[in-house]
Amino acid sequence: MSFVTPDQPRRATDARGAGARPPGRAGPPRRVPAAPSAHSGRSHAPLAVAALVAAGGAAVTAWLPVALALWLFQLSEDAGSLLDAARAGAAGWLLGHGVPLATASGPLGLAPLAVTALVVWRLTRAGVHASRAIGARASRSPGRMLAAAAAVGIAYGLLGALAAMLVGAGGLSVSPVRAGLTLVTVGTLAAGVGAARTTGVSGVFAEQVPVPLREGVRAGTVAALVLLGAGAAVAGLAVATGGGDAADLIGAYRTGVAGQAGITLVSLAYAPNVSVWSASYLLGPGFAVGTDTAVRTSEVSVGPLPAVPFFAGLPSGPVAGLGAVTVLALPVLVGMAAGWLLARRLLRLSSAEGAPLSWRRLLVPAALAGPVAGLLLGAAAKASGGPLGAGRLAEVGPVGWQVALAALLVTGAGALLGAAGTRWLTRDAT
């Protein structure tokens, strides 16, 4: 037992530790040292360095598969040197961006969309990496997002100009200026998507978009993707049915296993193009495989074709009877499915809000689905075509505006029917 004299007051102690202020006594608040931040002291890379590294990584990872496939393809002609493979890979890489090549047989502008998809994906990731490297992650700053995207695009364009010079030294004619400008545009747009997601600007923008427009874009995108999937399924079935002809075309090159593998890989690079052509066929406008040719449900007129395996799946004649009804009904059914999904989503949202789904709230986004699907499929049709040389093969692929108009009308009508039918059938529940 201890005693404290009046002139020696004992310090109040409690469970919080010695030195705590006694209850009721006023005084300035005690400062608590801040916890160290996870980002404190972290230095960020300069924008130019981050953009150059990200763009270079995207370019190399997209170029390597193309160079490997074309090197294997060159083995069929006993011209498989590494330098030739590097130049051929650069040419195919540029072609995947939509940069035309001038050859001895005429212009080559049919872009392999599989390479295009790989390029866009790698550039999107480059935008993500560049934004993180400069410390712009979750900054929600449009300025930093645009800076990262533009820097990646400029660096990527410089690499494209260098690749054009490399290709030009091997005999092909490619404009370095056009290649640079094209790759700057593609690189900036694709990297901007990744930078917008990383910085959070895409979320800010999405919050400002009206709900009907957002739902209409979603429904139209779904319809376009499903139609492309249906086109891929139909094209795959056609090629499989004509598998013997495709095998004969590959065997006509009289090469070894490596060369046949290269031919197969080159054909697979154009598989997305064939899927878009097949979707155009389902929609009605069809596509061309040369000047004054047409491949559509009501007409098939083609001439001599190059020895390319995927041409073995071309239809031999117009579709009649039940097959024609199925082909014509499929795009409408896809639109109706998109409208059904849209209605089900809006019904769930209205149920969560405790309010009935109005016809205006439903039909406005359903009507927007058609134009969105038309724009997407028209752009895909435009990108999937191009010349395969001079003369008869100067026109290959569908006509973009025709596909866009057909998709707008067919999927738009189907989406309205599907949405309205779903709303009418569930009117009692709402």
Q: If you average pLDDT over residues 216-242, what whole number do you get?
A: 90
| Alpha carbon distance 55, 50 (integer Å) | 8
Are the C-beta atoms of residues 70 and 92 closer than 8 Å to each other?
A: yes
Q: How confident is the model at residue 73 (pLDDT cuts 50, 70, 90)?
A: confident
Contact between 45 and 133 under an 8 Å Cβ cutoff? The reply is yes
Cα dist. 25→20, 64, 288 in Å? Answer: 11, 74, 90
CA distance linking residue 124 with residue 152, whole number of Å = 10
Burial of 29 (0-12, 13-18, 19+ CB in 10 A): exposed
Q: What angle do CA 62, 90, 268 make, to 5 degrees?
A: 60
Q: For residue 303, give the nearest of 314, 293, 316 by alpha carbon.
A: 293
pLDDT tens for residues 345-389?
999 988 888 888 888 999 999 999 999 999 999 999 999 999 988
Q: How high is the pLDDT of residue 5?
A: 43
For the segment 250-261, the average pLDDT, to the nearest whole number, is 64
Question: 90-134 pLDDT, tens per residue?
Answer: 999 999 999 999 988 889 999 999 999 999 999 999 999 999 999
Cβ neighbours around 347 below 10 Å, total: 18
Cβ atoms of 55 and 155 within 8 Å: the answer is yes
Q: What is the longest distance spanned by two Cα atoms in the chain?
A: 116
Question: What pLDDT is attached to residue 172?
Answer: 84
Q: How confident is the model at residue 4 (pLDDT cuts 50, 70, 90)?
A: very low
